[in-house]
A and B are shown apart, each in its own frame.
Chain A
């Protein structure tokens, strides 16, 4: 048995090692970024009645949305979202900070922008506030 294993190890070449190494690194990397995010969770941005779009939460990027009073900046940072710049005077939307859970929403009423985390399964159909 031990003989067989040592024979096998001796047959391993540099290319095999490289393949195994790449495989391990890739598995580690993908599981670290994908593990925490249930599939189907994404970010939905709306301006007034208009759907601006839906974006994967699993990315680092900045979206600029043009509203009636100016530009609102939304930052997506692997799983969490915040409004970072807004033309409104109160900046409640910015003060709200990061959201990262299903059905959490940030609304900037003056600029008519809403940013919600949506998933396939939801705890509720609508929000009372």
Chain B
């Protein structure tokens, strides 16, 4: 009897400790929810570091915003007016160069120059309209599809001959922000943290004596489909058709537009990738999930291999799951998955 009481007392103390071990703050930036969790630091140190990270997120949100006043909007205006854009800001030139490389690496499935197409689909608004755009407009935008390689970057200025270029770094900025947050936390001697920007997550260090664990949202249900344990430095990113989309005549139109057709990609519900701690892995976890979502089923696995993405899970349009062997070994299902509905690559 006395033992029972002791155990009860011990459990009470354990839960008490647990709550003090992590500190979590959320905010609303990048048009989505951002969340930073820090493990095993004093409240003062954690609060300070999180504030620095959130300030950086707010800076980047305004700096890279696709349709509000930002440096991107200034560059787009210059290109549209066929003017040279001069700047001493090396950060933006580096970012644009990186986007050029990424378009090439992803065979154009990630193309941040197609702002006009995204705008035509109505996704350039916090509250987007529910209309299908004019098919003639889409066809003409697709035929004159601009590419990042048509931007010429020099020391201190950039220009482009193609006035159809309209930069939209919506698929890059949140991943870039993950890498920035990683750097800021390291500079402030925070070794154990979990950063979540609108579902894209980067893990630093550990949660005590275990890895950080993240749930993966089911694309059609309110619960998680699985969870995964992120080793120190690993990141996870998902492209899905269930966050920004509209439905007309029972047809779902998501914000993930296939540059080849000009229409929202519709062969998948979600594509999730996991990346080890390589250079710019936060950015890449955001960017590389896109070709895996958009490309045709045959090409998805070929592109994953080319990009060096070993860990992926794709929920196809019919709800069936395509998963890589390495991912299958790591994943912990939260619901029973019928073996018939799963293909291992």
A contact residues vs B (CB 8 Å cutoff): 40, 46, 48-49, 88-90, 96-97, 99, 101, 103-107, 109-110, 112, 114, 120, 123-129
Interface status of B246 (Cβ within 8 A of chain A): yes
Nearest-neighbor residue (CB-CB) of B217 within chain A: A129
Q: A106-B222, A107-B33, A123-B227 are in contact. Are A129 and B199 (CB under 8 A)?
A: yes
**Of B24-32, B65-73, B143-151, the one with at least 4 CB within 8 A of chain A:** B24-32
Interface status of B214 (Cβ within 8 A of chain A): yes
Partner of A128, one of B15, B246, B272: B272
- Chief secondary structure at chain A's binding surface: loop
B15:A120 contact, CB within 8 angstroms: yes
A-side contacts of B215, CB under 8 Å:
103, 123-124, 126-128
Q: A49-B26, A110-B127 are in contact. Are A127 and B31 (CB under 8 A)?
A: no
Partner of A49, one of B28, B223, B242, B272: B28
B27:A49 contact, CB within 8 angstroms: yes
Partner of A125, one of B200, B214, B242: B214
Nearest-neighbor residue (CB-CB) of A127 within chain B: B215
A114–B27 CA distance with the chains assembled, in angstroms? 11
A97:B15 contact, CB within 8 angstroms: no
Question: Which of A40, A101, A128 counts the most chain B CB atoms within 10 A?
Answer: A128
Shortest 8 CB-CB distances between A and B: which pairs?
Answer: A129-B199, A129-B217, A49-B27, A124-B215, A48-B28, A124-B213, A124-B227, A127-B215
A-side contacts of B191, CB under 8 Å:
none
A126 to chain B minimum Cβ distance, whole angstroms, is 5
* Beyond A99-B222, A124-B224, A127-B214, 20 additional pairs, beta carbon < 8 A: A40-B15, A49-B26, A49-B28, A89-B130, A90-B130, A103-B215, A103-B223, A104-B222, A104-B223, A106-B222, A109-B33, A123-B215, A123-B224, A123-B227, A125-B212, A127-B215, A128-B199, A128-B201, A128-B217, A129-B242
A89–B131 CA distance with the chains assembled, in angstroms? 13
A49–B58 CA distance with the chains assembled, in angstroms? 13
A66 to chain B minimum Cβ distance, whole angstroms, is 15
A74 to chain B minimum Cβ distance, whole angstroms, is 14
A46–B243 CA distance with the chains assembled, in angstroms? 19
Nearest-neighbor residue (CB-CB) of A114 within chain B: B33
Residues B210-230 near A (CB distance < 8 A): 212-217, 222-224, 227-228
A-side contacts of B166, CB under 8 Å:
none
Q: A104-B222, A127-B217 are in contact. Are A46 and B26 (CB under 8 A)?
A: yes
A109–B22 CA distance with the chains assembled, in angstroms? 26
B181 to chain A minimum Cβ distance, whole angstroms, is 13
B213 to chain A minimum Cβ distance, whole angstroms, is 4
A-side contacts of B207, CB under 8 Å:
125
A109–B330 CA distance with the chains assembled, in angstroms? 31
Interface status of B194 (Cβ within 8 A of chain A): yes
A125–B38 CA distance with the chains assembled, in angstroms? 11
Q: A48-B27, A49-B25, A124-B214 are in contact. Are A129 and B222 (CB under 8 A)?
A: no
B32 to chain A minimum Cβ distance, whole angstroms, is 7
A120 to chain B minimum Cβ distance, whole angstroms, is 6
A-side contacts of B22, CB under 8 Å:
125
